[in-house]
Amino acid sequence: MSENRAVSPGKKSLFQDFKAGEFFQKYTMIIALVVVTIVFSLWPGKNGLILQPANVTGLIAENAYVFVLATGMLMCILTGGNIDLSVGSVVCFTAAIGCVMMASGVNMWLTVLAMLAIGLAIGAFQGFWIAKIQVPAFIATLAGMYAFRGFSNVVLNGYRVDITNQQFLDLFGNGKTSFVPDYIRQAMPGLDSVFTKDNAFLSALIGQNFVAKFNVTCMCIGIVAALVFVLIKVRKILVQKKLGISQSIPGQIISTVIIAALILWVTFKLSCYRGFPNVLIWTILVLGIYAYITTKTAIGRHLYAVGGNEKATALSGVKTRNVYWFAYANIGLLAGLAGILTAGRAKGIDPVYGEGYEMDAIASCFIGGASAYGGTGKVSGMIIGAILMGVINKGMIIVGVDANYQKVVKGIVLLIAVMFDVLSKRQKR
Amino acid sequence: MNNKAILAALKKNAMLIVLVLVYLFFLILTKGSIFSPSSFAELINQNAYVYILGAGMLMCMLTGGNIDLSCGAFVCLLGAFGGVFMIVQGLGTGVSIALMLLIGVVYGCVLGYLIAYVHIPPWIATLAGYLAFRGLGTSILSANSKTGSLAPFPVDFQNIFYGRVFPTEKGVFNWPCFLFGVAAAALVVLVIFTTRKNRLSKGYEADTVKAAAVKSGLGAAVILLVMSRLALDGGIPTTLLWVAGIVLIYSFITSKTTVGRHFYVVGGNMEAARLSGVNTRRIMFLAYLNMAILTAIATFTVIARSQSAYADVGKNFEMDAISACVVGGVSASGGAGTVLGMVVGATLIGVINLGMSLISLDANYQRVVKGFVLLAAVVFDILSKKRQK
């Protein structure tokens, strides 16, 4: 730090106002994620297994529903620590209806629309009681949790229903064909002779086992995405500088570089396996839309305002009741989507599917820094929380931790994560 | 004027009326079998844990809508410990009970410390236990038994928590049970009238003689009815004594003691309470310590009834306890609610469960009905209170 101070005051060094403590505090969960990943990848006997392309792909496919549900849950939590206990049952119910519809030969797109519409209707129904009659969210959604689990059983008659519609499985599932095809290599057959084991440079870069099947399209998506991300961030930093908003610029640069590298790394791993999973498209779409809604739109800001101080918000002219209705209708819609993804991955639906999903979603939000009292929390934080949980789950399975102890570890991690958060925020004051 | 007073009283006790209506509904539907002596015993034994955990949950919720999600999983863990102590190790019943209570106290202190002094949101602190304890309990059980469950618990343990006081044959009228009921009914009448007298002498608003007479008459009648039915089913269930004891102690604490009032004050306005000299952290700590101890007692009644400790014991208990409180008018944001309200809520849920299993409704529809009754009951309560304003 002393070196930086020596720079002439006219030319401020970029790193002059870099504070290590502040950086660690702000990015606690990212650092935790990196540490946990390193620990699992260095595990004796399981060297690097968690970083294998198949496992990285699996991690995304298995946790798609968590991302989707946690996004909806975040909106509810923002309004004041309210939660939705019914999502697990609603996931099962919408999936059950969808599976039964497809089994009786209904068109796939019609089914998908119906599932989303049913999810939305359930959400709006529960939201009505919560927003208009002021039934505590806990009770209204607890009632939904009981009722829709029962309805799912009724719809399914207590038995599993399979999905045979290949188009549905391709779009929302996790099978061999549920990936974006490698359009670039299809268009340029000449590339096949480039991506061979004999090409010393490429096989060193990609790895001997993966080079022949390397998915160029997926890698290109990753490169473009990373570039776009960096451009957006650079523009944001420049605007901040211009306006003189004091934000830790070095911290932002470091985090931008890390995230861009992460995007490249993940898409590289995906390219080595089967390419870009279709479920990732839906997940990114949802995350992107809601990151936009929470940060850039009026209704998004209203969610924060209601959670911060409901009375003040109402007095400033916001129809707070409608904000609640929005949050709960919205999570219903997303539960419908999660139902689609769950059914697609499992190639069918069992009456017990979706149990405990609400806790996964809630835990992701809280680990990701959402306040249990509402008003604070970001989509980006929730993403990190969900990934952290996913990595821990996957890591424990790979390492071979007994299923019972997996739950214990999950509980302890949750507690430590939040304790760390609470303590570091307290020191700040 | 008089009509108005009656209407106001009805609105104030909306949930009690719902309970009566639901009971009558099932009375017709089950062709009277919900009125049988064994149904009464079943209602109490089956729901003992709801009343006990409900009392603990009430104290947590009073402090500001805080809940304990871990109690169901903790029942599983404590049950596993109990099985190890009593069945595997063969420790005496008294020692085992003491050890289990000790574990409860230790967990309560840790949880209370984390919530009150480290300021971990109760949601999260107890969610961790919710995730961890069932896994821990299951692994303890499977390490000690091939089937994953430990049974049977010693007879004396079962007698303490799932037995009868002065047992007689079923169908033979059990006089100790009935006399106990007469004494309890007399006590209720006495308490209502002395309270009224005290309030009048201090110049507070009090019930009219008529209202007090109706209140005490109804209370005494219900007690006598329940006890005379139980008298035909072999005597007073010991679970009833535990439940009644806990309900009485906690209604005394919440309504008559300083520390009890502090729970309401903290829930009403934490900052104001702190500034007026209430040790708010200590109240939060006590709420969760208390919850863990009551969870231990609830565990005794549950494992004594099932006669075994198994992995699924205690599943969704937290939901039952919270529902009992909220249906019973406990505010989800803290500061309002009474033990008696919780008792009405727990009984309502118990009657619905029992009624549905008596008419052997399909388990799937049972869930649906439970969900809708829960919602309808709370909506009814809210709407009736809204009009009152």
Mutation to test the A interface, candidates B61, B374, B382, most A Cβ within 10 Å: B374
Say whether both A174 and A191 belong to one domain.
Answer: no
In a domain, A351, yes or no: yes
Dihedral pair phi/psi, residue B184, rounded to 5°: -65, -40
Domain range spanning residue A202?
180-276
Residue A23 in any domain: the answer is no
Residues A192 and A173 grouped into a single domain: no
My answer on whether A144 and A289 are in the same domain is yes
Domain presence at residue B251? yes
Does one domain contain both A333 and A186?
no
pLDDT in tens, B332-361: 778 889 999 999 999 998 998 899 889 888
Number of CB atoms found within 10 A of residue A165's CB: 20
**Does the beta carbon of A143 lie under 8 angstroms from any beta carbon of chain B?**
yes
Judged by CB atoms closer than 8 Å, whether chains meet at B135 and A140 is answered as no
Cross-chain CB nearest to B332 (options A136, A147, A403): A136
- Are A302 and A368 in the same domain? yes
* CATH assignment of the domain containing A174: 1.10.3470
Q: Are residues A75 and A188 in the same domain?
A: no
Q: For residue B201, is it within any domain?
A: no
Q: Is residue B218 part of a domain?
A: no
3-state secondary structure of A162: strand
For residue B205, being part of any structural domain is answered with no
Residue A301 placed within a domain: yes
Question: B35-78, pLDDT tens digit by residue?
Answer: 999 999 989 999 999 999 999 999 999 998 788 989 999 999 99
Residues of chain B with pLDDT > 90, as a percent, come to: 55
Q: Establish if B138 belongs to a structural domain.
A: yes
A295 touches chain B (CB under 8 A): no
Select from B231, B305, B254, B272 the least CA-distant residue to B82: B305
Residue A1: its pLDDT value, please?
38
**Element (DSSP H or E) covering residue A348:** strand A348-349
A153 touching B, CB under 8 A? yes
Task: Identify whether A11 is part of a domain.
Answer: no
pLDDT at B10 (0 to 100): 74
**Enclosing domain of residue B340:** 12-174+232-388
Residue A186's pLDDT is what? 85
One-letter identity of residue A238: L
Residues A376, A311 share a domain: yes
What is the least distance, in Å, from the CA of A141 to any CA of chain B? 9
Total domains in the fold of chain A: 2
* Contact list, A133 vs chain B (CB under 8 Å): 379, 382-383
- Residue A95's closest CA among A109, A114, A123? A114
Q: Which two tokens stand for residue B38?
A: 């064994």
C-beta separation of A14 from A26 below 8 A:
no
Q: What would you measure as the largest C-alpha separation in chain A, in angstroms?
A: 77
Chain B partners of A426 at a C-beta cutoff of 8 Å?
119
**H or E segment and range at residue A251:** helix A249-272
Return the pLDDT at B125.
87
Q: Is the peptide bond before B152 cis (omega within 30 degrees of 0)?
A: yes
The contacts of residue A187 (CB under 8 Å, 6+ apart) are: none
Q: Is residue A146 part of a domain?
A: yes
In DSSP notation, B286-320 reads HHHHHHHHHHHHHHHHHHHHHSSEETTTTTTHHHH
CATH number at residue B374: 1.10.3470
Q: Are residues A272 and A331 in the same domain?
A: no
Positive or negative: CA dihedral A127, A132, A134, A140 = negative
pLDDT tier, B387 (very low <50, low <70, confident <90, very high otherwise): low
- Residues belonging to chain B with any Cβ–Cβ distance to chain A shorter than 8 Å: 114, 118-121, 123-125, 127-136, 138-139, 142, 319, 322-323, 326-327, 332, 363-368, 370-372, 374-375, 378-379, 382-383
A230 and A317 in one domain? no
Please indicate, yes or no, if residue B188 is contained in any of the structural domains: no
Q: Is residue B209 part of a domain?
A: no
Q: Specify whether A146 is located in the same domain as A55.
A: yes
Alpha-carbon distance B37 to nearest alpha carbon in chain A (angstroms): 30
Predicted local confidence at residue B51, as pLDDT: 96
**Residue pair A196/A211 in contact by the 8 Å Cβ criterion:** yes
Q: Does residue A4 form part of some domain?
A: no
Interchain CB contact of A135 with B (< 8 Å): yes
- Residue A12 domain-assigned (yes or no): no
Q: Is residue A2 part of a domain?
A: no
Contact criterion met (CB < 8 Å) for B118 and A423: yes
Tally the domains of chain B. 1
- Listed as ranges, residues in chain A with pLDDT below 70 are 1-23, 25, 246-247, 425-429
B374 contacts on A by Cβ (under 8 Å) = 139, 142-143, 146
